[in-house]
Structure 1
Amino acid sequence: MLLDVLIAACAALAALGVMLIGFKLLRTVPPRWLGPVVAAVAVVAVTATLRYQWAYRVEAMLPPEMVVIERLGTRSPFEPWSYLKPVTTTLVVADRGTLRTNPAHADLVLINVLVVGRARDTLFTRHLVDCAGRREATFPPNVTFTSEGLPDGLIWAADAPPALLNTACAVSS
């Protein structure tokens, strides 16, 4: 966040410098109100650009085994342009490097999922994906198991993100 503030301040100063050089070349004096307006426009433009580029920068830094399965965008009245194109503030990432299968239950795949938010802590969860039933469940840390070796008491969600199902089930098929 501090880096964003520094970048915005530098952009404001650079825009003011370009404006002053332009008026110097034209041999005229700029109106007094133009400096703050140019600086404000530069700050808003740079801030909006940084917010829109956040998700792409984070994706570029992810290791190859991490797959973005969902991008969650937000809209805000403080950023009216976000109603045209929402700003991605959260990435849901599946870690293919953590895929685990059990030969006795080949249709079930255990995978780690991370929820990476802008200016927020990263949330880590484990999901059990049923490839045959096309459903998934959050795998709690204190799960109990049945006599067949299956987790007991899971709450299955039939509306799992298709990208999560495809990522997890690509290995088991």
Structure 2
Amino acid sequence: MIWQLIAVIFAGLGAAGIGLILRQLSGKRLPRWIVPALAGVGMISYQIYYEYSWLASKQQQLPDSAEVVDVKYDSMFWRPWTYFFPLPVAFEVIDRDHLRTTEANGQHMVEFILYRFEKQVTDRVTHQAYLMNCGEREWVPLVGDERQPDASALHDIGTDTPLYQVLCETS
């Protein structure tokens, strides 16, 4: 967070410097407000760049065995450009190296941990263990230290979802 603030300040100073140079090159014909205006534009531009590059930078930090299975995009009224280009605010990842596949009653089962990364003031990471029944196309969270299935939270899943394809069609 502190590095982002420092980067925003330097982007503003750099853009203000460009405004100052442009004003000097024009023989001071450009108005004085061009310097703070360009500083503000520089700071906002960096912030927009940072927000849209968050997803790619976080994905680069993941291990090679991690695979993104869902990305959530959102629009915010205080960021009107996000209505045209929605902002990535969260994504979900599974780690292929930590999948456990089993057969139970003739059904192909995959136990996995789903990691959710959320972009907030400080990035938030949560994880939950799940069990996927590939034959029935159902998945259920595993709760407690014993990792018992929570049958009340059983979900159906379509065969076209990336989570199903990664877990059931490739394993």
User: 1:99 maps to which residue?
Assistant: 99
Would the aligned equivalents of 1:138 and 1:154 in 2 still touch at CA under 8 Å? no
Report the Cα distance in structure 1 between the residues aligned to 2:15 and 2:157, rounded to whole angstroms: 48
**Conserved 8 A contact 1:135-1:165:** no
Q: Percentage identity across aligned positions?
A: 23
Deviation at 1:121, TM superposition (A): 2.3
Q: Gaps spanning 5+ residues in structure 2: where? A: none
Quick check: 1:47 aligned with 2:50?
A: no
Equivalent AA in structure 1 for residue 48 of structure 2: A
Distance in 1 between residues matched to 2:147 and 2:21, nearest whole Å: 71
What does residue 166 of structure 1 align with?
Answer: 165
Residues 34-54 of structure 1: per-residue CA shift (max 9 Å, x gap): 222111111111101100000
Contact 1:143 1:152 in 2 (8 A): no
Bigger RCO of structures 1 and 2 (CA < 8 A, at least 6 apart): 1
CA distance in 2, matches of 1:153, 1:45: 48
TM-score using structure 2 length:
0.87
**Aligned ranges for residues 1-173 of structure 1 at < 5 Å?**
1-104=1-104, 107-118=108-119, 119-142=122-145, 151=149, 153=151, 155-159=153-157, 162-172=161-171
Where 1:122 maps in the other structure, the secondary structure is: strand
Instruction: Measure the CA separation in 1 of the matches of 2:79 and 2:15.
Output: 21
Alpha-carbon distance between aligned partners in 2 of 1:14 and 1:29, rounded to the nearest angstrom = 21
Note if contact 1:113-1:124 (Cα within 8 Å) is conserved in structure 2.
yes
Aligned length: 167
Residues 99 and 93 of structure 1: CA distance in aligned 2, closer, same or farther (over 3 Å): same
Instruction: Show CA shifts across 1:116-168 (max 9, x none).
Output: 112232101111111111221111125576xxxxx573532014681111111
Query: Which ranges in structure 1 are unaligned for 5 or more consecutive residues?
Result: 146-150
Give the direction of change, closer, same or farther, for the CA distance of 1:101–1:34 in structure 2 (3 Å limit). same
Residue aligned with 1:23, SS: helix
